Chains A and B, each alone.
Chain A
Amino acid sequence: MRLIEGPISPAAISEIIFRGGTNTDSGAHSLFLGQVRKDLVDGKSVKAIEYSAYEEMVMMEANKILKSVMSEFTDVISIEILHSKGFVNAGEISLAVMVTSGHREQAIRACAKLVELIKEKLPIWKKEILEDDSEKWKQE
């Protein structure tokens, strides 16, 4: 798990794909990318999101998530999670999750589960920056 300042770059995504490919026991990679959506809020469009995180706790909780998913999905070989902190513009990537496993079924299921756990368990918050530069904390 890594917190990256700003958007997740295509280079960072390429790098995790490359790293996963170095393990020749793997037969499947499942990759999820989360993108900042240009939502309409109070009639104004979202131009960016500012992410903030309780970084120490993010790392502790991410380790727990990784352990639980690795023990539930025993075919999984490796997991990569990249999450943004700071500003990410609409249309840019703020989350990348890649699961590498022996076969496709567990790669896909484990990846879907990880995305849900990341949203539920990691102490990260988003503030929407609107087109007129007003700001609104995202409420769940």
Chain B
Amino acid sequence: MGINVLFFGVLTEVTGTHRKHYRGISSFSDLKYRIRDDFPGIENYNFRIAVNNRIVNEDPVLNDNDEVAYMPPFTGG
């Protein structure tokens, strides 16, 4: 399946992009490994992950065209 991945905050610098589309993803953990392989530096940062605008704490089931967001700690206000 295809997954749209968004990066925010400092992670846009770590990855050099705000958005990347992944094809042929089989599961959430597959996606996480692919992202870690593409951007090894990302593991040095704290982040939370949202799937379709909802923060996930455990590995969720992904569906084709889901939007997965990598979000460092929020600093708004």
Contacts and interface: CB of A to CB of B under 8 A. Distances in A.
Nearest to B9: A125
A33 to B, nearest CB: 11
A120 B8 contact: no
Interface residues of B, number: 16
Given A52-B8, A52-B9, A54-B6, A119 B77 contact: yes
B69 A126 contact: no
Given A54-B69, A137-B13, A125 B76 contact: yes
Given A56-B53, A57-B53, A137-B9, A123 B74 contact: yes
A11 B7 CA distance: 34
Contact of B73 (A51, A53, A95, A139): A139
Interface string A65-98: 0000000000000000001000000000011000
A57 B10 contact: no
A52 B69 CA distance: 14
A127 B8 CA distance: 11
B71 interface: yes
B2 interface: no
Interface in B40-77: 50, 53, 69, 71-77
Contacts, number: 66
A54 B71 contact: yes
B77 A138 contact: no
A60 interface: yes
Nearest to A51: B76
Interface string A41-71: 0000000000111101100100000000000
B67 to A, nearest CB: 8
A34 B77 contact: yes
A-B complex: 8 closest residue pairs judged by Cβ atoms: A124-B76, A125-B9, A119-B77, A137-B10, A57-B53, A140-B73, A138-B75, A126-B75
Interface of A: 34, 51-54, 56-57, 60, 83, 94-95, 115, 118-127, 137-140
